[in-house]
Amino acid sequence: MASSHLREGIGTRRSRILRTALECFLNFGYQKSSIDDIARRSGIARTLVYRIFRNKEDVFAAVFEQWLASRHPAARAVAASGASAGERLSAVMELLVIAPWRDMAGAPMAGQYYEICRRLIPEHLDNHRHVLRRCTQTVLGDEQAADVFLLSLDGLFANAPTADAVQARVKLLIDRFTAPPALRFGSPGAMPERFPDRRGTTPIPPGGPRSQGLPRPLHRP
């Protein structure tokens, strides 16, 4: 019984460390976030942090696993469920795209997070994109349609929109791809009156988002 409580205690503290580490990485950057900072902000002794994680890179990889990879089973399950295509695709996008962006949007150092992922844990990033693509393909039933959907999805992030703006844009995109054939692209009356406006977004400076350090969504190649 005691060992069971001990395992539960360690699991809870591990989750707290990882939540705090994510906040540090997004707000202060990877380079300026030390194990000491993470331990102090999470209220956990530095020595205990090192008992659970080997180093800061190990913490960074574990953050990705808890924050994003842990969503993959739920995304696969909902993609293969019996709900409508629109409902399934909306749920997949919420899990793998919108919710992570909600955490990143507005964070001072979110623009650097993608590059650190690409440098330290490229296989995690590639797997996240692979899961998103397979789930999208499962819903739409066609590899080419999934590719076009995801290319269109990338464009929705061009001006670093707020999470609410992303949610509205993704809903519009899903409606276009899951509507009955007669109401899809180019059909009379198929296009909306207007695309969700740019309020609540960050204008793109010369050079584009990456050169200015704006956040880059983690599903993008």
Residues 56-68 have pLDDT tens digits of 999 999 999 999 9
For residue 149, give the nearest of 187, 176, 114 by alpha carbon: 176
CA distances from 33 to 56, 106, 149 (A): 9, 18, 36
**Per-residue pLDDT tens over the stretch 66-121:** 999 999 999 999 999 999 999 999 999 999 999 999 999 889 999 899 899 999 99
At residue 139, the pLDDT reads 97
Confidence of residue 194 (pLDDT cuts 50, 70, 90): very low
At residue 179, the pLDDT reads 86
CA distances from 184 to 88, 187, 188 (A): 18, 6, 9
Burial classification of residue 76, based on how many CB atoms lie within 10 Å of its CB (0-12 exposed, 13-18 middle, 19 or more buried): middle
Of 198 and 165, the structure prediction assigns the larger pLDDT to 165
- What does pTM read for this prediction? 0.80
**Per-residue pLDDT tens over the stretch 23-37:** 999 999 999 999 999
**What is the residue whose two structure tokens read 């207007």?**
194
Of 35 and 204, the structure prediction assigns the larger pLDDT to 35
Number of other CB atoms surrounding residue 153 within 10 Å? 22
For residue 96, give the nearest of 131, 126, 123, 65 by alpha carbon: 131
**Helices 56-67, 35-42: crossing angle, 10 deg rounding:** 50
At residue 21, the pLDDT reads 97
**Per-residue pLDDT tens over the stretch 106-164:** 899 998 998 999 999 999 999 999 999 999 999 999 999 999 999 999 999 888 899 99
CA distances from 191 to 104, 179, 196 (A): 30, 12, 12
Q: Which of 33-42, 105-114, 177-186 has the highest mean pLDDT?
A: 33-42
Number of other CB atoms surrounding residue 149 within 10 Å? 22
